[in-house]
Amino acid sequence: MSGPKGTKDNCDTAQKDSGASKLFGEIASRTSQAAGRALTFMIAASVVVVWAVTGPIFQYSDTWQLVINTGTTIVTFLMVFLIQNSQNRDSAAIQVKLDELIRVSTAQNSFVGIEHLTDDELEEIRSKCERRAEAEKIGEASVQRTGKKARQVADRVTG
């Protein structure tokens, strides 16, 4: 019997989901690493060459064409999910690293977590940052001009 309102069942489901997620993550990681290797490309290219060479043997039949079409469709379909999973994990890891760098630096901690904002909110923040950067450039140029004038005056006085 489970606890109040199925608490034990919820924990069991969460653990199963976590296990399935871990398994999928591991498979996706290894597959995407393998898919990006030169050997994998060579194998895929060899399959296509073998398929093309067998064309005359099978008289370029509909079945012969269906074999390559079905194979490439299945591989493409599955690779979309694996690539997306890999990109999601990479993006999440990079975001955590950036958040930690922001947290420990002199940057504004208010930027931590902005990836959860809407596109319009992100655009507004980007525009503000660009305006601040432009103002800082202008300020730096002004300080440099003032410093140059001060050196010229000092040279004349000591001169």
93 closest CA partner among 33, 2, 29 = 29
Residue among 16, 65, 75, 77 at smallest CA distance from 41: 75
Spatial separation of the C-alpha atoms in residues 138 and 144, rounded to whole Å:
10
- Residues 85, 24 contacting (CB under 8 angstroms): yes
Are 82 and 32 in contact, with CB atoms under 8 Å apart? yes
Work out the number of other CB atoms within 10 angstroms of the CB of residue 144.
Answer: 10
> Tens digit of pLDDT for each residue in 93-130?
898 888 888 888 877 777 788 888 888 888 888 888 88
**Residue keyed to tokens 């450039």:** 137
Q: Tens digits of per-residue pLDDT, 10-69? A: 555 555 667 888 888 888 888 888 888 999 999 999 999 999 999 999 999 999 999 999
- Per-residue pLDDT at 149: 87
3-state secondary structure of 73: helix
Handedness of CA 39, 43, 49, 53 (dihedral sign): positive
